[in-house]
Amino acid sequence: MFSPGFDEIKDRLYSQYKNKIYNKASGMETPELRLFIADYIDRNKEKSHMQVKAGIFKSILEHAQIAVDDFDFYADHLNHGDLIRDVIDKWKKEAFRFLPDNGLKETADKASKIGLYEVQLDLGHTSPDWNNLLSLGIQGLKQRASDKLTTGKKPDFLNAVITVYDAISTYMLRLADEAAKYRTPRMDFVADDLRHLAHRPPETFHQAMQLAYIYHEVQELEGEYVRSMAGFDRLYFRFYKSDIDKEILTREQAKELIKYFFYKFMSKTQGWDAGKNFYFAGVDVEGRDCTNELSYLAFEAYDEMDVVDPKLTVRIGPDTPQPFIRRAAECIRNGNNSIVFVNDEVALKMLTKQGKSLEEARNYTIIGCYEPAVMGMEISCTMAVQFNLAKIVELELFDGEDPHTGIDMCPAEELLKQSGQRDYKDFSTFYNEYLRRLDWHVHEAMEAAKLLETKWEYVNPSPVLSGTFDSCMEKALDISEYGAKYNNTGFTCGCLASAVDSLSVISQLVYEERRYTLQEIREAVRNNWQGYGEIRADAMKTEKWGNNKPGPDNIGKMLSRHLAGIVNGKANNRGGQFQLALFSVDMNFYYGKKTGALPDGHIAGTPLSKNIGAVTAMDKEGITSLINSVTKVDYTDVPNGSVLDIVLHPSSVHGKDGLNAFISLVYTFFRKGGFAAHFNIFDVKTLLDAQKHPEMYQNLQVRVCGWNSYFVNLSRESQDEFIRSACNIS
């Protein structure tokens, strides 16, 4: 195509967002722009936040400084200074200051302090309708809003959509003019495509990816993180195929463009953020497998790049070609493991169970890490509530009081009166009291989330995102006014194994074997096991989640079923419902710091269990037993997602037989009803050496949660957890 190639200028691309130098003559610097926007807001006090937000957005795209890199194939640089987010933060503070004084905020603050749950107005887990964007283009989306204006529908919203899309076109033309100044073949190519996109939908492979990246940047500028780039192979294949057939591109040139495109995300985060999610394979709305030659080409490019961002999801169904699954598995074995496998059959069942049609469900994308949502129809707010299941065990042991802060989270007196079973005569009584307390705090967290949702329209009107949704345009309602067809709220429960193992210890040691009294367990954990080494040793030897043992596995199955019953289908304040998730991401570290000793042997302040897997190093019976344990849960009742972390030793996946065994493992997990799994393949010697000599292992990747990181960039605490996991399989 054009020289130099990607590999020759990879280092320059990596540094493109560091200390960016903008063309001073191209617009206002941030201080001047901030004053300009403050004056704009002051002059438009009588306008709605929808109008003001659109006006600010337009001002930034038209007046902020820009820059174009003469070595890149994708233009985007805008010196916006995150000024819109400053406005959103101001509106959020104003909105939350005037929330009703009904005790919910105070309770949620207390819950946060002790590590019980976190509640937020989740504006950050979104995906536009990428099909509409690539089919209609910016001007087509604008025209759709203009056509609606003639019907007398809500002009405030529709005019905002027109304003922001006009501004995006202007922004692309500004970038085109800046690129053309270089007078080089590469920059002329970029400039021509930007001018095309300012007026028409994309027609070529490069134009489609350029538009996607521009859109990604402007939606995040507007204030909503783009947490899904949707199906790369299905979105871009028609552009790729057309270019190949017309001999506009060769296969190798297309791969170069993919590398430049993917590397934009890597350059932006440099491995310090949660990553950008593309998915591959799966089925279309008619149920046909979507794997194509672009699927293989993208993974080939990814494997050659050695990057932690973007992250790739593989939707696996009955018809997904095994060679493609093998290609993804090879990437993981090669150390490029920013990949998660998702079970299409379970995903479709969980989505239809929650009221979506089968055709809608087939068009799901993965929001953030592992949360399925119907693209262009659903705003799922997947992490509005994050809940620590293990903390409830601690609170139950100490009658609702956090023993470390003294904060009393005891539910209303009436709840305790209804119980009358504080002596816990048997495990069933203790477990039922655990569930009563759990129910109370789940309801509490839901009410707090619902309260925050009432302020969405005030805090963050979103015409850029909303303009891509068919339902928003049909209703003439913004996303913040609940214009999406499905407006759901995620309720994410973490630290499952820590809760299950703690309950299991009480069941086994106190009630079955009668080796210790509950008071002895209580005193042992109150003292963080100091002076109670014998009890802790016995607790550590009891049956644990992840080993295919009936005791803990039955508790885990009952608990997950109970959570589904109290979360799924409960009404939120946006015309939708709450949806259960079973994952922790990296909150197991945060919650661990705020949780004291637990009956399972947990030491106060140390990490709790991650996602749906076992407590670190407690899965002693091997990977098959781990899979057998976790698949006792019905994941079709977990519509907001879940994931299993699997650690394998390099020797287990070595050679052709090892790769076959790896793929069989994925199939086994899915056949048993698992939803999503991701992998780390390493040995303890490598990790210990990397910890000791980080300069020698700068490119060593680990799958942290729903994203990858370089091992040397992790905290010592995180590194130690990976080392403990590796020790468990060595």
Cis peptide before 411 (omega within 30 of 0): no
User: What is the average pLDDT score of the chain?
Assistant: 95
- Burial bucket for residue 513 (CB in 10 Å: 0-12, 13-18, 19+): exposed
Note the pLDDT of residue 476.
95
Mean pLDDT of 491-498: 98
pTM, full prediction: 0.96
Domains in the chain: boundaries: 99-122+385-461+492-621, 249-367+643-730
Rg of the chain over Cα atoms, rounded to whole angstroms, equals 26
Note the pLDDT of residue 417.
52
Please answer whether residues 464 and 164 qualify as being in contact, where contact means their C-beta atoms are separated by less than 8 angstroms. yes
pLDDT above 60: residue 414: no
Note the pLDDT of residue 544.
98
pLDDT above 60: residue 344: yes
Cis peptide before 321 (omega within 30 of 0): no
The pLDDT tens digits for 128-137 are: 999 999 999 9
Mean pLDDT of 228-235: 98
pLDDT above 60: residue 415: no
- Name residue, tokens 């672009």: 294
- Name residue, tokens 């008071």: 519
Largest CA distance in the chain: 83
Note the pLDDT of residue 416.
55
Mean pLDDT of 292-296: 98
Note the pLDDT of residue 647.
95
Q: How far is CA 581 from the centre of its chain?
A: 12
pLDDT above 50: residue 269: yes
Note the pLDDT of residue 420.
47
* Number of Cβ within a 10 Å radius of residue 273: 14
**Rounded distance between C-alpha atoms, residue 503 and residue 555, angstroms:** 8
The pLDDT tens digits for 523-576 are: 999 999 999 999 999 999 999 999 999 999 999 999 999 999 999 999 999 999
Mean pLDDT of 500-527: 97
The pLDDT tens digits for 458-471 are: 999 999 999 999 99
The pLDDT tens digits for 636-663 are: 999 999 999 999 999 999 999 999 999 9
**Rounded distance between C-alpha atoms, residue 281 and residue 284, angstroms:** 9
- Name residue, tokens 């262009």: 376
**Rounded distance between C-alpha atoms, residue 74 and residue 213, angstroms:** 8
